Structure 1
Amino acid sequence: MKAIAITEPGGPEVLQQHEIATPTPGPGEILIKVEAAGVNRPDTIQRMGFYAPPPGSPDTPGLEVAGTVIALGANVSQWKIGDPVCALVGGGGYAEYCVAHESHALPVPHGFNMIEAAGLPETFFTVWTNVFERGALKGGESLLIHGGSSGIGTTAIQLATIFGARVFTTAGSAEKCAACLELGAEAAINYKTQDFVAEVKTLTEKRGVDVILDMVGGDYIPRNIEAAARDGRIVSIAFLNGSTAEVNFMPMMLKRLTLTGSTLRPRSIAEKAGIATALKERVWPLLDAGRVKPLIDATFPLAEAAKAHALMEKSTHIGKIILTL
């Protein structure tokens, strides 16, 4: 089958299409004929040599796919051949065929094409477990999303708004801020021209926000503590500005803050299956009803994966970037 290889650590140009053996599904696994695959920031970090796949996962990048089930491993009970699915995978998504654990696959929502479905798994799993499980966001609370125009951000805006939260975001241009507002954010703060801490304090009458979803890190870490409300929860999912910072922990104690975070890829089969179950119960009905939808910025043929990565690293996109087969 055709697949994208990382020929050596480096820039987008190291992504090359080549031929490899088609994988065989093991016990509890399904083989998917891939029609579309999502491009995510962890893919670019893996390409640069800083994010190795978990043991047993393919070296081929790609963490989410959509397509049709064409083969079943032993003891598979949730799917049958011919089912259209989207799935979270540990790797191998940038290929014509991809293996997924049956419990990490979800049905393609009603009215969705495969490109839209491919933009769901990695983003929705990440948002659900971090905003609603670790962050424990509830209706009536407030959420600050850094990177509001990203795939993660655009998903978090929609879900948090539907579940009754006040949503504020940061983004790096007027166009991106406008997109966040259109998706339901109450306020979009241009971090290049505005101080998000001061803006959040104004928006909340100096109270601060209940939950912060942070993918920036670095100097945002102490600023997040300053922007958080009493009993607030700060959830870190990435560190675009670095994972270290000098922090005064006294405000954390005085505000009774929770600083937490997670990564998705290394989590166990059972943990990911639990997230999938929650999504199927709480979020998939919203997708089926057309109340939530991934924002697709651009698509590229599989052979042009390097162009997709180059676009992601420019950070001019709004929403998801998808590879098509």
Structure 2
Amino acid sequence: MHAITIPEPGGPEALVWAEVSDPVPGEGEVLVEVVASAVNRADVLQRQGFYNPPPGASPYPGLECAGRVLALGPGVTGWAVGDAVCALLAGGGYAEKVAVPAGQLLPVPKGVDLVEAAALPEVTATVWSNVFMVAHLRPGETFLVHGGSSGIGTMAIQLAKAVGARVAVTAGSPEKLARCAELGADILVNYREQDFVEELRENTAGSGADVILDLIGAKYLDRNVSALAVNGRLAIIGLQGGAKGELNLGALLTKRAAVTATSLRGRPLHEKAAIVAAVREHVWPLIEDGVVRPVVDRALPMADAAEAHRVLESSAHIGKVLLVAPSAGA
């Protein structure tokens, strides 16, 4: 098979479409013929040499995919060869085939194209696990997501609205904010021109956000705490603005607030399986009913992964950037 390899860390040109050995499904795994994968910030970090796959994971980038079941490993039940599936991965999505733990496999939702389904696993698992399983966003609460036009952001807006929350977003252009509004965002903040702390206060009668989903990290830490409501919950899932920040514990105590920081890729298999099961139970019906949908900016041939990385790093996209494998045309 072919896969995107990284012979040496570097810029987008470091991604090389090359012939590699086929994966073999082990105990409890399913072999999937990949039709499409999606680009995530973690893939960029891996390409740069900053985020290696967990032990035992595929060395190739790609944290999600969609495709068809080719073979079942020992001990796998509930799936059949030929099933249309999408999957949460620890790596290996940028390839023609990938071995996936069966607990991280999902059926393609009804009404969703097989290629577009590749846009779903990572964002749904990330948003549901952080916003609902950890931060416990409730109907009527105010939810702020930074990077509202990103893959994570576009899914977070839709899921928060689906449960009856009021949604605030930050984004860097009127066009991106307009797309967020189309998805249901109520409070639109252009972070290049406005202070999200002040905007939240003005639009919530001074109370702030009950839940904040943050991809920025250190750069926003102090302001995120300032933007939290009493009993607010801040969920940090990215470090685009740095890894080390100063936390005002006094402000946190006064607000009886909580700060959590999680990652998905390195979690034990049983934790990932529990998250995937929750996504299938709670999110898949919303997708099949048309309440929530994948937002895809563009789809490029998998061999052109370098260009896809350039698009992601330029932040010119809205939603997900997909990579389409040669099998999509089969």
Same fold (TM over 0.5): yes
Aligned to 2:36: 36
Match of 2:247, SS?
Answer: coil
Structure 1 distance, partners of 2:94, 2:174, is 33
Gaps of 5+ in 1: none
Counterparts of 2:47 and 2:316, CA distance in 1: 20
Q: Tell me the equivalent position of 1:62.
A: 62
Cα RMSD for the two superposed structures: 0.7
Q: TM-score, normalised by structure 2?
A: 0.97
SS in 2 for 1:260: strand
Q: What is residue 250 of structure 1 aligned with on the other side?
A: 250
User: How many corresponding residue pairs?
Assistant: 325
Counterparts of 1:156-171 in structure 2, within 5 Å, are: 156-171=156-171
The equivalences for 1:123-134 within 5 A come to 123-134=123-134
Q: Which residue does 1:85 correspond to in 2? A: 85
Alignment partner, residue 299 of structure 1: 299
1:264 and 1:235 map into 2 onto residues whose CA distance is 13
| Comparing 305-314 and 114-123, the one that deviates more | 114-123
* Alignment match, 1:144: 144
Segments of 4+ in structure 1 off by > 6 A?
none
Cα distance in 1 between the residues matched to 2:159 and 2:247: 31
Q: Is the 8 A contact 1:62 1:89 kept in 2?
A: yes
Query: Take 2:78 and 2:36, find their aligned partners in 1: how far apart are those partners?
Result: 22
Displacement after TM superposition at 1:279 (Å): 1.0
**Structure 2 runs not aligned, ≥5 long:** 326-330
How far did residue 281 of structure 1 move?
1.0
Q: What one-letter code is carried by the residue in structure 1 that aligns with 2:175?
A: E
- Residue-by-residue CA offset, 1:37-58 (whole Å, 9 max, x unaligned): 0111100011101101000001
Aligned position for 2:328: none
User: Following superposition of structure 1 onto structure 2, how do residues 14-25 of structure 1 map, counting pairs within 5 Å?
Assistant: 14-25=14-25
Q: Which moved more, 1:168-177 or 1:107-116?
A: 107-116
1:70-105 Cα deviation digits (max 9, x unpaired): 100001012110100000011111000011111101
Name the structure 2 match of 1:317. Answer: 317
User: Residue 7 of structure 1: CA displacement?
Assistant: 1.8
1:102-123 per-residue CA deviation (whole Å, 9 max, x = no partner) reads 1101100111112210000011
Aligned to 1:116: 116
Whole-angstrom distance in 1 between the partners of 2:276 and 2:44:
25
Question: What amino acid sits opposite 1:77 in the alignment?
Answer: T
* TM-score with structure 1 setting the length: 0.99
Identity in percent: 51
Q: CA deviation at 1:288?
A: 1.2
- Deviation at 1:153? 0.3
Residues 192-224 of structure 1 show CA distances to partners (whole Å, capped at 9, x for unaligned) of 000000000001000111000000112210000
Counterpart CA distance in 1 for 2:102 and 2:259 is 33
Query: 1:245 Cα deviation (Å)?
Result: 1.6
